[in-house]
Structure 1
């Protein structure tokens, strides 16, 4: 373990698996006290167990990010328990599939309740706390779908695009009081959320052909990017959107092999 986040208190949503779990482990390994949040206790408990077994400091709070009172209460309780909040990572998301012409209003709204509303509530609460203590860092997780149009995922794409531009506005507002806000933009990453599209060799190979580096990303690689933007090493970076996608967003033409 190193200590680049010694004495920092970090709150990570969607911390029971995937990018959120990897981020929590990375920050704890760097000396932070980490609190993870999610709807289901079992996965949260398992991640905390892994962190503490490795000598890190972690706990969890069960809360649905799409429930304003529960989510805000979890963040505020964390700050009260530890005396501060230094890093907020809004990672939790939800999505629905379907063509625009067939999508119900309920399905459309379902893409925003966690991804946009939750990110707003988490960011607002973090800013209130961080302004009082003289600064902090917020990292919001978007998606390559928020940068490019994605068929059958219009609601999710719109929600993630909202996260990106919302975060720019937050950065503008927070800069004068020492609150930084940045975005990590993942491409295809091997997590439980993408298990379906990577379920067999043929599906995985077809996906990897679209990526210049010819492989999907790993959660740890995203966690490294989140950690950097959250840490003091990125002290002069705010309002940035960092693509971590194996080059996918830089490639106009894709050559199938």
Structure 2
């Protein structure tokens, strides 16, 4: 595999599993020195060990990105320790499930503290750290941020905020060669979605909504993220890239 990220320093949030772990593996395979963070140390260490066994460079830091002081401090320490920050992937997410009628204010805010606040704090800090020599920020949104999703109103609103925030950040970062882009997945086979897809009937109903007839894989999202983080996308900023098997492209999906 080519070394597009040789000598680059990359920070990936939510790196202990799913899309974050796959992204960390992909960036490390292509030469990046990858730092991953998450709420739980053990999964992070497992990912780091796996990357190192494959010859990559990886390090873990236990950080909850909804904690501003801790997250900003981790990014600043990374830049200090490794000589800068070239890539930030804001992947960490959290959501509550339930009707608007029954949703508490606390549940509503819980959707924003990680996806929106964390993305803002990370992006703001990265822009400061990247200002001298440029860099790439990739924020993870969701198809829920583009299409209304019953029982997930808070998450849908939060991911919609991530999309438009990223566009504004791209405009501000462009003069300093700081690119900000968004990847928009639909359903991806990760530990976070395992419960949703646990029975055959639900899995069949889900895949019928997707023109390609299957859910996505974490490595497929990682490939898109790696592209946007690389110099192959040197003239791409403010873009929102759907990686969803065609889900958002159609009004009516195939029905049995």
> 1:8 and 1:200 mapped to 2: Cα distance?
42
Name the stretch that deviates more: 2-11 or 42-51.
Answer: 2-11
Is the contact made by 2:14 and 2:93 (CA closer than 8 Å) also made in structure 1? yes
The aligned residue for residue 83 of structure 1 is 83
Give the CA deviation at 1:255: 2.2
The aligned residue for residue 150 of structure 1 is 149
TM-score (norm 2): 0.99
Alpha-carbon RMSD across the aligned residues, in angstroms, is 0.6
The aligned residue for residue 180 of structure 1 is 179
Give the CA deviation at 1:198: 0.7
Give the CA deviation at 1:63: 0.6
> 2:93 and 2:216 mapped to 1: Cα distance?
18
Structure 1, gaps ≥5 residues long: none
Is the contact made by 2:211 and 2:254 (CA closer than 8 Å) also made in structure 1? no
TM-score (norm 1): 0.99
Name the stretch that deviates more: 1-10 or 143-152.
Answer: 1-10
SS in 2 for 1:92: coil
SS in 1 for 2:101: helix
Report the count of equivalent residues: 256
1:37-186 → structure 2 map (5 Å cutoff): 37-132=37-132, 134-186=133-185
Give the CA deviation at 1:171: 0.4
> 1:209 and 1:197 mapped to 2: Cα distance?
15
1:1-16 → structure 2 map (5 Å cutoff): 1-16=1-16
What does the per-residue CA deviation read over 1:140-168, in whole Å, with 9 as the maximum and x for residues that have no partner? 00000000000000000000000000000
Give the CA deviation at 1:2: 3.0
Give the CA deviation at 1:98: 1.0
What does the per-residue CA deviation read over 1:165-197, in whole Å, with 9 as the maximum and x for residues that have no partner? 000000000001110000000010000111111
The aligned residue for residue 235 of structure 1 is 234
